Structure 1
């Protein structure tokens, strides 16, 4: 099925099939190696040069899809699912480190690596699975942004969903100004989100011992089908499959020396960047669940499953008028921010798998259009409640797509012919396969429970 041993695409990199010059175009074109990295001076300067890709990746780990699952989990099960958030975040740190390693060492993003390794039918299947994941993610962005516009400005959900098409022009404007501008925009909105939830946690004043207890795994997460459904939704909302493609590409925007020493240094700084950024995502996701657990679950409101419900109840139950507004502002910032990374991921996946280049605005409009149609249809037929169920479902769909990205990634980085001296050590390879296995088992159990009515 693969193309191992069919030739080498570049000097010193075996295990890849021979590729033409057209196929070896760098990921993200002119943005590749466009950001200088200082060779000397304080370590802080080199770290700052690599600061950015991790935060762009972290956006996908705190997008609107996380909100519905975290709110539902906190309201219904209290602090219990904090352990799932922690587990999924640790998985994310490992997997994103692998994605960065692949991109830096091979000069390929994950989509390009798949195309070079697998047969065309397999590549088409992987491309379709990834596009489905991107559409599911975009669906969450449309719903989240539409809900935020409705809460802040009273715009009906149907019109809010349509308005989200305008973000195409925002992304194009940012991309034209260079990759650093994209990163600065993303980080600025992340600071807004982070600040909003610091205030929320202070206002909710949760008990520390309850939070600590929530981070300890509990058996009922697996034995309770409803808890498992939400748990898999949290994993799907946290470990985003298209982020693996994204990260393997955008780390190559740094102009590090393409030597063994330069790559080794680049891996170290890129992993540091993504780990710090994903700890920020852990805080945001945990803060949403903790707020729901403290304000709703502990006051007997275990029925709060929708973002609108949380918005309506948060200020009255906390007794602070600004609490609900902060929630909506953070949601809007999250939805807008996710647009940037989804656009880039879509471009990387399409170019990497198919070598198909279409204008950015056309690519974005197609993806956004596919996401808007079901939102408008479901809202018109079933109202707000149907939209929120669609939001949770989109995250479960994302989780189902994870194996199609994780398995090729782990296979590539653990192959010495492809990675040379940078092949993952045995302990990391084993850990990576364990993560893939856990996700597969959870997905299979969810499917069995769904079809058997368990």
Structure 2
């Protein structure tokens, strides 16, 4: 009781990662277009996230190895091993660069709702200074290489983000019975399937599985801390889910169909609920951008560390080079005029391709006794995991087909 935050850690970083601008944007569109009717999809997404992240955390804590390391070590066929390594490395790096651009762009949207756009002109080249600011904050925290400092910074930002969105949702005074109906009575309105796909895809984030498996060993030591790791996970993901639900509730209150992202939502709520709603939502979006801008490069570096068996810490040059490349690409793509919505959409394509593969790898290794001993999946966990895997395959295929115009 002396320190209630003692066991808060990796789970909060995972929540910080999945509550990024992509999630904020998708939840905003879901609320504007379908009011409370798709809240059940978010609830199921939260449950799926908890199931998969628990497997990843258990794997990292019991084996003491990262997900990438375990997958590489357990594949015996040389050709398949090389293929898996190339797939994990390239997909995570490319996918996280796309996520990073969307994260920074989303944070910029939040800032630009409160202050004017700041652009630096270099000949014919325009550079968004707010992108540089967010990238610089992420760079400083990552470069310092202190896990406890990163953890404290992200926990603080997650609390700020959570309070911003939840207070904004409460201020809209939603109809509680309608909210409960939306949460627990699944309905699929006409042409809402792709929105449901988006809610699942933006919550169950593949790079979080790598990140969580790696981070638990930074915070805890082995089997004795499994209970604490699970408690941290359950609380953090549930809090992240409440934030997503709060955003949907805010958007449902806006009653305007021209809203395309959270920045529009902040402006749209201002006439109805005053300046407070605008500031709360904008600060929340800014915090969401920064938290995800830190975790995406960090996850990519941990994947590279596991794939190449680097016995290095956060301050190692090779580790820094990986997250540095992802961060620089994110800043560049977000600052040279690409649409934030288009960047987020591309990140969702990467998610659709990657999630079923990574979820399949995870489900496979958490059933191997030589890796987890008596802590392998139970039958119930395998049933849940299999349902989630099949669902991600279907949803991933639907997402990709929709984006390329075949659906």
Question: Do both proteins adopt the same fold according to a TM-score greater than 0.5, normalized to the shorter chain?
Answer: yes
Residue 90 of structure 1, CA deviation: 0.4
Residue ranges of structure 1 left out of the alignment (5+ in a row): 1-43, 380-385
SS of the residue corresponding to residue 50 of structure 1 reads coil
Q: Partner of 1:60: helix, strand, or coil?
A: helix
TM-superposed deviation, 1:165: 2.9
1:33 corresponds in structure 2 to none
TM-score, normalised relative to structure 1: 0.80
Aligned mate of 1:303, from 258, 276, 281: 258
Summarize the Cα distance change of 1:452–1:167 in structure 2 as closer, same or farther, 3 Å threshold: closer
Which residue is equivalent to 1:338?
Answer: 292
* Residue in structure 1 matching 2:154, options 157, 176, 186: 186
Question: For the Cα contact (< 8 Å) 2:142–2:150, is it kept in 1?
Answer: no
Question: 2:78 maps to what in 1?
Answer: none
CA contact (8 A) 2:10 2:219 kept: no
2:36 counterpart SS class: coil
Counterparts in 2 of 1:453 and 1:169: CA distance versus 1, 3 Å:
closer
User: 2:115 matched to which residue of 1?
Assistant: 153
Equivalenced residues, count: 389
Does residue 97 of structure 2 align to residue 132 of structure 1?
A: no
Residues 107 and 365 of structure 1: CA distance in aligned 2, closer, same or farther (over 3 Å): closer
2:41–2:186 contact (8 Å) kept in structure 1: no
1:46/1:426 CA distance change after superposition, 3 Å: farther
Aligned to 1:253: 218
- Contact kept, 8 Å, 1:111 with 1:245, in 2: the verdict is yes
Alignment of 1:151-230 (within 5 A): 151-156=113-118, 158-172=128-142, 174-175=144-145, 178-216=146-184, 218-220=186-188, 224=191, 227-230=192-195
Superposed displacement of residue 46, structure 1? 10
For residues 124 and 359 of structure 1, do their structure 2 counterparts lie closer, same or farther at Cα, with a shift above 3 Å needed?
closer
Counterpart mapping for 1:322-361 below 5 A: 322-355=276-309, 358-361=317-320
1:62 aligned residue: 19
Give the direction of change, closer, same or farther, for the CA distance of 1:203–1:411 in structure 2 (3 Å limit). Answer: same
State the Cα distance separating 1:49 from its structure 2 match: 4.4
Q: 2:37 aligns to what SS in structure 1? A: coil
2:52 corresponding residue in structure 1 = 95
Question: Under a length normalisation based on structure 2, what TM-score does the superposition of the two structures give?
Answer: 0.88
SS in 1 for 2:117: coil
**Partner Cα separation in structure 1 for residue 139 and residue 402 of structure 2:** 43
- The separation in 2 between residues aligned to 1:136 and 1:229, in whole angstroms, is 20
Aligned residues of 2:135 and 2:293 also touching (Cα < 8 A): no
Please say if 1:79 is aligned against 2:36: yes
Match of 2:394 in 1: 441
Aligned equivalents of 1:276 and 1:130: distance in 2? 26
Aligned: 1:50 with 2:20:
no
Q: How far apart in 2 are the matches of 1:161 and 1:373?
A: 8
With over 3 angstroms needed to count, the CA separation of the structure-2 counterparts of 1:95 and 1:302, relative to structure 1, is same
Report the CA distance shift for 1:453/1:59 in structure 2 as closer, same or farther (over 3 A): same
- CA offsets 1:277-319 (integer angstroms, 9 cap, x no match): 11100110000011101222xxxx223122332122111122x
Q: Distance in 1 between matches of 2:303 and 2:242?
A: 29
Instruction: Report what 1:427 is aligned to.
Output: 380
Name the residue aligned to 1:362. 321
Q: Where in structure 2 are there 5+ consecutive unaligned residues?
A: 76-80, 120-127, 311-315
- Give the C-alpha shift of residue 132 in structure 1: 2.6
> Residues 424, 418 of structure 1: CA spacing in aligned structure 2 closer, same or farther, 3 A cutoff?
same
* Kept in 2: contact 1:76–1:302 (CA 8 A): yes
**Displacement of 1:206:** 0.3
Distance 1:371 1:75, change over 3 A: same
RMSD: 2.3
CA–CA separation in structure 2 for the residues paired with 1:228 and 1:127? 31
